[in-house]
C-alpha cells in the first residue's frame, strides 16, 4: 500500500523520465554539444533534471535562461511609455551565436496564456514586435532546422489555472502535471522505447501517405463536408526528423500529428471546429466556415466571431489554408478531453487545419526554390499561421488518388489505412 | 504591540528599501538605461523588487540572468572530463554588447562560499579559468568603470549556513538578512538619505587623506608593528564615484573602506590578522607575517598555513602589498561580529591590506600610463589580489608626512583625524 512518502517519489520518477525524454529523444543530444535552455522559474525542478541528463549525455555546458512572470509584469506596471520598443537583442544575438557554435536549443514551455491579458494591448503589441525583430536571427536557425531543438512542457500555476479553472492552485498544478505526463507518454515503463515506437508509427504513416500522393482529402462529419486539395509535390511529415546538423530530433514533445501542405486554390465546402481556438487571450468557439476555390467566403463563430473576422482580413493568404494535419481521435491528448490553451498540446489533440503560411519543407525539392514558384504548386503565403481543430470521433476522411479512386483513410476519427 | 502579521511586512519593507537602494544609490540608474542583472534563484523576491524600482527609475528593460547552484553542481556530478574547459562566451559577449550599448550592471551576491568544496579542484580550476577568459571582455568594462554598476547582497540558504553554522536553515537565512539590512544601512527611516551622508563621510575622508599625501602609515597593536609606505602620487578613493559614462554610482553596497596604493618596496615590520581569511573554501587563521623592503620574508598561520604559503609563492608580486584600506572599527559590519566569508562584507569589516595586484586608478595621472612606469611609483603587479583584515579596536595608526612629522590618524580602531 503506498504511503504519503511514495507520492512525491512517483512524481519525481515521472519528472525525471520527462527530463530524460527531452534530452535523449527531444534533442537527441550529442556529446560535446552545449545546451541553451529557456524555462519559467516555476519549472526549476524539471530544469535541474534536464541539466543532469544533458551532462550525462555528454553536454559540455547547460545554460538555463530562467524567466519570471513577476519581472515581466513589473515592466507593464512601472515602466514609462517609451520602454516598450526595447528587446534584449544582445541576449538573442548571443543565443544565435551559441546555435551557430553547435549548441542545441531546449525550451521548457509553461506560459500563463493570460499573463498579459490585463495590460495595455498597444504596449503588448509593441513589446512583442520589438522582441520578434530582435529574436529573428536566433529563430531562423530554429525554424530552418539548422540545429536540433525541442519544446517540452512543465506545469506552472499560471498555466494550470487556465486549464483547470476553479480548482485550488496546488491541485490544478498536479492535475496538469498528470495530463502532461500522459500526453508525453512518460507514464510508461520505458518512455524512450515508447517514443521509438511512436516515431515508427508516425513515420509509417507519413511513408504510406507519401506513397499514396493523394490529390485531395474529403472530410465528412457534423457540420463538415469539405474537400482539401493537396499541393503539387506535397510531402507528409511527422515525428522525429533530421536537423541540418545531421542530428535526428523530436522538436515537439508531445507530438501526434502528421502534416502536409494543402493547395491554396483547391479547398471547397464547409467545415466546423471541434474544439475552441485560444487565440491571443480570446476564445473563438464553434467556428463554421465555407470555402470556395480555396478561400473562406463565409465565416461564423458562436463566440469571438469579430476576432475571427479580423484574423481572416490580415492579408490575402489569411483566408486560405497553409497546413493540413491528421491526428487520431484516440491520441492521449484528445483522450484527456482538456483544452490546454497551448499550441504544443492543442494542435496535437485532433486533426486540424491552419489558416495562413505554409511549411515549404512539406514540398518536394523545395530547398532554395523561391516562394513564387512554390506558390504555383499551391503553397500559401501569409503573415499568420493559426491552427484550429476539426477532428473528432465523428469525422470520416477519404483519400482521393490522382486517378480519382476514393479510399477510406480515417473512420470515426481513427486511421483505417496508414 | 507587533503581531505575527507585522513580521513579514517589516521584512518586505526592508527588502524593498534594499532594492530601491541598489537602483537609486548603487546604480544611480538613468532613464533609458537597460539593466543586466545576475542573481541566484533564491534571491528572486529581491530581484522582483529591483526590477520594479528600475522600471520606476526609467529602465527600458530589466533582464535577470538567474543562476542555480543545483544546475552548477550537476556539471561536476555528471559531466565528462572534457566538459570543464567550456564557458558561455556567447552570453558574456552578449553582456559586453549590452554594456557597450549603455546598459547598467547589477549583480545580486549570495554565493554559497563552499558550493564547490567537495568537487575535484582541477575541474574547478579549469572551469574558473575558462570562465575568466570568456568573461574578460565584459569584466574589463566593469573594472575600467566604463559603466555604472553595483553589487548588492541577498541572504541565501547556502551562504547563511556558512555564516551561522548550527542554526536551522530558516533562522540562519533570517539572521543573515538582518545582518545584511544593518550592514547596508536599510534599517534606517530613509536609507537613500543615509547613504548620501555616508558617501559624504567617505569623501571627506579621502579628501583629507589626499590633502595630507602621507609618505607612510604606521600601525601598532597586538602582534602588529608595521610601516606601510604609500606609492608616489597615490590617491585615496572610497564611496560613490563617477563611472566613465558620467554616472556617479556606488559599485559596492555595503562599503565602508577608503583605500589607496601602497609602495611595493616600502613595507616593513610585523602584522597579525584580526579575522580569519576565507580563501577558496579554506579558512586561514591567525596570520602573522614579517615584511622586509616590501616583501613578506616570514609567514605563519595557526590554520591553513600551507595554503597561505602557496598563495605567497604564486608569483613575484604575491608576497607584496597592492592595497591598503582603512575602515573604522565601529562600522556596522565590524559591529556585527560576524565572519561573512564574502569579500563584499569581510573587506568592509575592518582595516585591511591586500597581497598582490594594485589598483592603478589609485594613482594620480595613471590613465594610459604603462604598468612599468606605474611600478616605478610603487604599484605592485600580481595575478592575485587577496584582502585580509588587520584592523580591530586595539589598533592605532599614525600618518607620517613627507617632512617626517607623525600625526595620529586612528586610535583604538577609530579615526581621530579624517
Angle between helices B121-143 and B69-78 (to 10 degrees): 140
The CA distance from A78 to the nearest CA of chain B, in Å, is 5
Q: For residue B301, what is its C-alpha cell?
A: 598561520
Q: For residue A349, what is its C-alpha cell?
A: 489533440
Q: Which residues of B touch A47 (CB under 8 A)?
A: 68, 71
Asked, as a colleague might, if the bond just before B173 is cis with ω within 30 of 0, I would say: no
Task: Give B27's DSSP letter.
Answer: I
Percent share of chain B, pLDDT over 70: 98
Q: Which residues of B touch A48 (CB under 8 A)?
A: 68, 70-71, 74
Instruction: Measure the CA–CA gap between B360 and A107, rounded to whole angstroms.
Output: 45
Q: Which of A32, A63, A77 sits opposite B88 (nearest CB)?
A: A63
Give residue for cell 465523428.
Answer: A394
Mutation to test the B interface, candidates A47, A71, A72, most B Cβ within 10 Å: A71
3-class SS of residue A93? helix
Q: For residue B220, what is its C-alpha cell?
A: 601598532
Q: What is the distance in angstroms between the CA of the first residue and the CA of the last residue of chain B?
A: 43
| Interface contact A130, partner B, CB < 8 A | no
Query: What letters, b where the CB count within 10 A reaches 16 and e where it falls short, cover B20-50?
Result: bbbbbbbbbbbeebbbbbbbbbbbbebbbbb
Strands A385-389 and A352-356: antiparallel
Q: Is the pLDDT of residue B143 over 70?
A: yes
**Interface subset of A 234-293, CB within 8 angstroms of B:** none
Mutation to test the A interface, candidates B83, B108, B137, most A Cβ within 10 Å: B83
The CA distance from B22 to the nearest CA of chain A, in Å, is 16
Instruction: For residue A9, list its beta bridge partners.
Output: none
Q: Which residues of A touch B48 (CB under 8 A)?
A: 68, 70-71, 74
Domain with CATH 3.40.1830.10 in chain B: 4-183
| Interface contact B55, partner A, CB < 8 A | yes
Give residue for cell 556596522.
Answer: B332
Q: Give the chain A residue nearest B100 (alpha carbons).
A: A90
| Interface contact B59, partner A, CB < 8 A | yes
What residues contact residue B223 under an 8 Å CB cut-off, 6+ apart? B270, B271, B272, B288
Q: Tell me how far CA of residue B229 lies from CA of B187, B214, B273, in angstroms.
A: 38, 9, 19
Give me the mean pLDDT over the B143-158 stretch.
Answer: 94
Give me the mean pLDDT over the B51-80 stretch.
Answer: 98
Query: What letters, b where the CB count within 10 A reaches 16 and e where it falls short, cover B340-375?
Result: bbbbbbbbbbbbbbbbbbbbbebbeebeeeeeeebb
The CA distance from A104 to the nearest CA of chain B, in Å, is 13
| Of the listed ranges A78-87, A382-391, B236-245, the one predicted with least confidence | A382-391
Closest of B336, B355, B356 to residue B346, by C-alpha: B336
Fold (topology level) of A4-183: Thermophilic metalloprotease-like (3.40.1830)
The CA distance from B40 to the nearest CA of chain A, in Å, is 11
Element (H, E) at B385: strand B385-389
The CA distance from B137 to the nearest CA of chain A, in Å, is 14
Instruction: Measure the CA–CA gap between A137 and A148, rounded to whole angstroms.
Output: 16
Residue A2 pLDDT grade (very low, low, confident, very high; cuts 50, 70, 90): very low
Q: Which of A51, A79, A94 sits opposite B93 (nearest CB)?
A: A94
**Interface subset of A 100-129, CB within 8 angstroms of B:** 101, 103
Q: Which of B61, B86, B95 sits opposite A34 (nearest CB)?
A: B86
Q: Which residues of A touch B78 (CB under 8 A)?
A: 52, 55-56
Give residue for cell 566569508.
Answer: B341
Q: Is the separation of the CB atoms in A121 and A313 below 8 Å?
A: no
Instruction: Measure the CA–CA gap between B104 and B30, rounded to whole angstroms.
Output: 9
| Interface contact A376, partner B, CB < 8 A | no
Q: Is the separation of the CB atoms in B353 and B321 below 8 Å?
A: yes
Q: Is the pLDDT of residue B1 over 80?
A: no
CA dihedral A398, A399, A400, A406 (to 10 degrees): -50
| Interface contact A137, partner B, CB < 8 A | no
Give me the mean pLDDT over the B373-382 stretch.
Answer: 93
| Interface contact A384, partner B, CB < 8 A | no
Tell me the average pLDDT of chain A.
Answer: 93
Long-range CB pairs of A49-52, under 8 A, 24+ apart, other chains included: A49/A15, A49/A16, A49/A18, A49/A19, A49/A20, A50/A19, A50/A22, A50/A23, A50/A106, A50/A108, A50/A152, A51/B70, A51/B71, A51/B74, A51/B75, A52/A19, A52/B74, A52/B77, A52/B78
Residue A1 pLDDT grade (very low, low, confident, very high; cuts 50, 70, 90): very low
Backbone angles phi, psi at A311, to 5 degrees: -60, -45
Contact A55 B79 (CB under 8 A): yes
Contact B101 A90 (CB under 8 A): yes
Instruction: Measure the CA–CA gap between B65 and B108, rounded to whole angstroms.
Output: 10
Q: Give the chain B residue nearest A80 (alpha carbons).
A: B58
What integer pLDDT is reported at residue A350 of this predicted model? 92
| Interface contact B47, partner A, CB < 8 A | yes
What residues contact residue B20 under an 8 Å CB cut-off, 6+ apart? B49, B53, B191, B192
What integer pLDDT is reported at residue A369 of this predicted model? 87
Instruction: Measure the CA–CA gap between B160 and B110, rounded to whole angstroms.
Output: 9
Q: Which residues of B touch A87 (CB under 8 A)?
A: 61
Q: Which of A31, A52, A87 sits opposite B78 (nearest CB)?
A: A52
Assessment of whether the complete model's pTM goes beyond 0.80: yes
Give me the mean pLDDT over the A327-341 stretch.
Answer: 91
* Tens of pLDDT, residues A248-259: 999 999 999 999
Q: Give the chain A residue nearest B77 (alpha carbons).
A: A52
Q: Which residues of B touch A80 (CB under 8 A)?
A: 31, 55, 58
The CA distance from A34 to the nearest CA of chain B, in Å, is 9
Percent share of chain B, pLDDT over 90: 79
DSSP sequence for A23-70: IIIII-PPTT-EEEEEEEGGGHHHHHHHHHHHHHTT-SEEEEEEE-HH
Residue A353 pLDDT grade (very low, low, confident, very high; cuts 50, 70, 90): very high
Q: Give the chain B residue nearest A53 (alpha carbons).
A: B78
Q: Which of A70, A88, A98 sits opposite B63 (nearest CB)?
A: A88
Instruction: Measure the CA–CA gap between B270 and B221, rounded to whole angstroms.
Output: 10
| Interface contact A1, partner B, CB < 8 A | no
| Interface contact B375, partner A, CB < 8 A | no
| Interface contact B132, partner A, CB < 8 A | no
What is the ipTM, given to two decimal places? 0.89
Contact A75 B62 (CB under 8 A): yes
Contact A71 B61 (CB under 8 A): no
Instruction: Measure the CA–CA gap between B219 and B289, rounded to whole angstroms.
Output: 14
Query: What letters, b where the CB count within 10 A reaches 16 and e where it falls short, cover A256-294?
Result: bbbbbbbbbebbbbebbbbbbbbbeebebbebbbbbeeb
Give residue for cell 482539401.
Answer: A228
Contact A44 B68 (CB under 8 A): yes
* Tens of pLDDT, residues B66-112: 999 999 999 999 999 999 999 999 999 999 999 999 999 999 999 99
Contact A83 B55 (CB under 8 A): yes
What integer pLDDT is reported at residue A146 of this predicted model? 93
Q: For residue B292, what is its C-alpha cell?
A: 622586509
Q: Is the pLDDT of residue A44 over 60?
A: yes
What integer pLDDT is reported at residue B384 of this predicted model? 85
Instruction: Measure the CA–CA gap between A54 and A52, rounded to whole angstroms.
Output: 5
Backbone angles phi, psi at A70, to 5 degrees: -65, -40
Residue B283 pLDDT grade (very low, low, confident, very high; cuts 50, 70, 90): confident
The CA distance from B95 to the nearest CA of chain A, in Å, is 7
Amino acid at each position: 500500500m503506498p504511503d504519503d512518502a511514495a507520492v512525491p517519489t512517483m512524481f519525481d520518477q515521472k519528472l525525471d523520465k520527462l527530463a530524460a525524454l527531452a534530452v535523449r529523444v527531444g534533442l537527441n543530444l550529442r556529446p560535446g554539444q552545449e545546451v541553451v535552455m529557456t524555462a519559467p522559474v516555476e519549472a526549476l525542478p524539471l530544469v535541474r533534471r534536464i541539466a543532469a541528463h544533458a551532462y550525462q549525455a555528454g553536454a559540455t555546458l547547460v545554460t538555463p535562461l530562467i524567466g519570471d512572470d513577476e519581472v515581466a509584469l513589473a515592466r507593464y506596471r512601472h515602466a514609462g511609455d517609451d520602454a516598450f520598443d526595447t528587446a534584449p537583442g544582445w541576449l538573442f544575438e548571443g543565443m544565435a551565436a551559441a546555435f551557430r557554435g553547435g549548441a542545441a536549443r531546449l525550451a521548457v514551455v509553461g506560459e500563463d496564456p493570460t499573463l498579459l491579458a490585463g495590460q495595455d494591448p498597444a504596449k503588448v503589441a509593441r513589446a512583442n514586435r520589438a522582441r520578434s525583430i530582435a529574436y529573428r536571427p536566433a529563430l531562423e536557425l530554429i525554424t530552418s532546422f539548422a540545429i536540433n531543438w525541442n519544446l517540452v512542457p512543465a506545469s506552472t500555476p499560471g498555466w494550470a489555472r487556465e486549464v483547470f479553472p476553479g480548482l485550488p492552485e496546488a491541485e490544478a498544478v498536479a492535475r496538469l502535471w498528470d495530463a502532461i505526463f500522459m500526453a508525453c507518454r512518460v507514464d510508461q515503463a520505458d518512455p524512450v522505447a515508447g517514443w521509438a515506437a511512436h516515431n515508427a508509427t508516425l513515420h509509417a504513416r507519413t511513408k504510406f501517405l507519401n506513397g499514396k500522393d493523394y490529390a485531395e482529402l474529403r472530410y465528412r462529419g457534423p457540420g463538415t463536408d469539405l474537400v482539401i486539395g493537396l499541393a503539387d509535390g506535397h510531402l507528409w511529415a511527422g515525428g522525429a526528423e533530421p536537423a541540418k546538423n545531421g542530428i535526428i530530433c523530436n522538436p515537439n514533445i508531445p507530438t501526434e500529428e502528421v502534416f502536409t501542405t494543402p493547395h491554396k486554390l483547391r479547398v471547397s465546402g464547409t467545415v466546423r471546429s471541434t474544439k475552441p481556438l485560444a487565440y491571443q487571450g480570446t476564445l473563438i468557439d464553434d467556428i463554421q466556415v465555407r470555402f470556395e476555390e480555396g478561400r473562406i467566403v463565409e465565416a461564423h463563430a458562436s463566440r469571438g466571431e469579430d476576432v475571427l473576422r479580423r484574423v481572416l482580413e490580415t492579408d490575402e493568404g489569411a483566408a486560405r489554408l497553409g497546413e493540413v494535419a491528421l491526428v487520431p481521435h484516440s491520441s492521449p491528448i484528445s483522450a484527456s478531453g482538456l483544452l490546454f490553451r497551448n499550441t504544443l498540446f492543442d494542435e496535437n489533440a485532433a486533426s486540424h487545419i491552419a489558416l495562413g503560411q505554409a511549411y515549404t519543407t512539406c514540398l518536394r525539392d523545395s530547398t532554395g526554390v523561391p516562394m513564387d514558384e512554390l506558390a504555383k504548386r499551391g503553397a500559401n503565403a501569409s503573415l499568420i499561421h493559426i491552427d484550429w481543430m476539426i477532428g473528432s470521433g465523428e469525422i470520416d476522411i477519404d483519400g482521393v488518388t490522382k486517378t480519382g479512386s476514393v479510399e477510406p483513410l480515417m473512420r470515426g476519427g481513427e486511421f483505417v489505412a496508414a
